[in-house]
Structure 1
Amino acid sequence: MGSGKEDCRTIPAIDLKKFPEAEEYRKLREASETWGCFRLVNHMIPPALMSEMKSVARSLLDLPMEIKKQNKDGITGSGYLAPSIVNPFYESLGFYDLGSRQALDSFCSQLNASSYQREVIEKYAQTVCEQIVDIGQKLAESLGLADNDYLKGWPCQFRINKYTFTPELVGSTGLRSHTDPGFLTILQDDEIVGGFKVMDKSGTFVAVDPCPGTLLVNLGDVTRRI
Structure 2
Amino acid sequence: MSNVPPPSNYSSSYPPLFRPNSTPTHVVDQDDPTTHNPGSDPLPVIDLHGLNHDAKHTLAEACKVWGIFRLVNHGIPITLLNQLHDHAKELLSLSFESKQALRSGSMSYFWGTPALTPSGLAIATERSPSSLSINWVEGFNVPLSQLSVLQADGDPILDTFRHLLDEYGRHQSRVATTIFKAMAENLNLLGQEKCKSYISPSTGFIRVYRYPRCSESNHNNQASAWGMDAHTDSSVISILNHHDQVGGLEVYKGHKWLDIKPIPNTLVVNLGDMMQAMSDDEYKSVKHRVKANKYDDRISIGYFVFPAQNGVIQSSKYKPFTYSDFQAQVQKDLMTMGFKVGLDRFKLNKAS
Q: 1:94, CA displacement in angstroms?
A: 1.0
2:233 matched to 1:180? yes
* Native 8 Å contact 2:81 2:243 kept in 1: no
* Native 8 Å contact 1:39 1:214 kept in 2: yes
Which residue is equivalent to 2:80? 49
Q: CA RMSD in A?
A: 2.6
2:277 matched to 1:209? no
List gaps (5 residues or longer) in structure 2: 1-38, 114-131, 218-224, 279-352
Which residue is equivalent to 2:92? 61
Give the letter for the 1:209 counterpart: K
Q: 1:134, CA displacement in angstroms?
A: 1.4
Q: 1:88, CA displacement in angstroms?
A: 4.4
Do the aligned partners of residues 110 and 14 (structure 1) sit closer, same or farther apart at CA in structure 2, a change above 3 Å counting? farther
Q: 1:211, CA displacement in angstroms?
A: 1.2
Which residue is equivalent to 1:9? 41
Give the letter for the 1:120 counterpart: L
Which residue is equivalent to 1:86? 133
Kindly indicate which of the two structures has a greater share of residues assigned to helix. 1
Structure 1: distance between partners of 2:153 and 2:40? 38
Structure 2: distance between partners of 1:115 and 1:73? 13
Deviations, residues 158-215 of structure 1 (Å, cap 9, x unaligned): 100001114456xx52111111011110000143111111011x22111111111100
Kindly indicate which of the two structures has a greater share of residues assigned to strand. 2
Which residue is equivalent to 1:219? 271
* Native 8 Å contact 2:135 2:229 kept in 1: no
Deviations, residues 134-179 of structure 1 (Å, cap 9, x unaligned): 111122122222245433455012100001114456xx52111111
Aligned pairs (5 A) from 1:70-219: 70-72=101-103, 79-83=108-112, 86-95=133-142, 97-98=143-144, 100=145, 103-109=146-152, 112=155, 113-147=157-191, 149-150=196-197, 151-167=199-215, 172-200=225-253, 202-219=254-271
Q: 1:90, CA displacement in angstroms?
A: 0.7
Q: Secondary structure at the match of 2:87?
A: helix
* Native 8 Å contact 1:9 1:209 kept in 2: yes
* Native 8 Å contact 1:184 1:217 kept in 2: yes
Q: Which has the larger radius of gyration?
A: 2
Structure 1: distance between partners of 2:90 and 2:243? 15
With structure 2 as the length reference, what TM-score do the two structures score? 0.54
Do the aligned partners of residues 154 and 223 (structure 1) sit closer, same or farther apart at CA in structure 2, a change above 3 Å counting? farther
* Native 8 Å contact 1:94 1:157 kept in 2: yes
Number of residue equivalences: 210
Do the aligned partners of residues 48 and 168 (structure 1) sit closer, same or farther apart at CA in structure 2, a change above 3 Å counting? same
Deviations, residues 17-74 of structure 1 (Å, cap 9, x unaligned): 2222x21111101101111100011002111111111111111212222332245489
The answer to which structure, 1 or 2, has the higher relative contact order (CA under 8 A, 6+ apart) is: 1
List gaps (5 residues or longer) in structure 1: 1-6
With structure 1 as the length reference, what TM-score do the two structures score? 0.82
Q: Secondary structure at the match of 1:161?
A: strand
